[in-house]
Amino acid sequence: MKIIRAKDYKDMSRKAANIISAQVIMKPDAVLGLATGGTPVGTYAQLVEWHKKGDIDFSGVTTINLDEYRGLPRGHKQSYWHFMQVHFFQHINIREDHIFVPDGSNLDKEEACLEYDRIIQRVGGIDLQLLGIGMDGHIGFNEPGEVFKLGTHCVTLTESTIEANMRFFHNREDVPRQAYTMGIQAIMQAGKVLMIVNGEHKAQIIQRAFAGVVTPKIPASILQLHPNFILIGDEAALSKMDM
């Protein structure tokens, strides 16, 4: 596990974008595992800027997003599909048929999850997985539990996740209660895992996840076992890590 200290959010975003662009330069047909949330917005903005300058070509890249709300179709303003379009895909030269996000409009849980696992297999797995971390230690929507769930699965969101995601909706009732998420296996099999984190509110969960025991009660803790895991945090988020 490699920990990289960033000065602030902007610095964190630039460092993450640098690693992602290096991946795409080294392997133009790379498979990137991507994340939504507030944390990666600056990383995507930086990649878009470099793309517009002609520095990164996404024409051969495939993307596999971590998760999607169950019940929200692509067109829905709060869907993660929409989020990715607005913050990233609309601004780069990625092929539409190279973009994958779990199908939130498919209410058949089993079918939706199996289909996503088939897609991950078909593209040959993930070269670089970008991750944020939830306040409860979730990665994607792998919420705390008794076991690590390996494949893509449907989750019922925890109260703390619903609380955290409320800011994107008009009110609490509008936040979907369930989501489809990539499982721990596809994340752990990624060639490289890059987690970005900022803010003092994340300092405690970062300490629990990466300076404590590996447990499904803190899903991110399993990344301690990944052979190529990079954590980029700003000063505030890393303030409780002894280093």
Q: Residues with catalytic annotation?
A: 67, 136, 138, 143
Residue with tokens 């607005």: 86
Q: Which of 151, 189, 196 is nearest to 16 (CA)?
A: 196
As a whole number of angstroms, the distance between CA 74 and CA 79 comes to 6
Tell me how far apart the alpha carbons of residues 118 and 239 are, in angstroms, rounded to a whole number. 40
Q: State in angstroms the smallest separation of the CB of 158 from ligand PGA.
A: 11
Minimum CB distance to ligand PGA smaller for 37 or for 127: 37
Q: Interface with ligand PGA by CB under 6 A: which residues?
A: 37-39, 132-134
Tokens 């895992």 found at: 193
Q: Closest distance between ligand PGA and the C-beta of residue 197, in Å?
A: 8
Here the tokens at position 72 are 């929200």
Nearest-approach distance from CB 238 to ligand PGA, in angstroms: 15
Question: Which residue minimizes CB distance to ligand PGA?
Answer: 37
Name the residue nearer to ligand PGA (CB basis): 27 or 160.
160
Closer to ligand PGA at the Cβ: 128 or 133?
Answer: 133
Q: How far is the CB of 175 from ligand PGA (least distance, A)?
A: 13
132, 196 contact by CB (below 8 A): yes
71: left (phi over 0), alpha (psi -120 to 50) or beta: left
Q: Give 16 or 133: the residue with its C-beta nearer to ligand PGA.
A: 133
Long-range CB pairs of 159-164, under 8 A, 24+ apart, other chains included: 160/134, 160/135, 160/136, 161/134, 161/135, 161/136, 164/134, 164/135
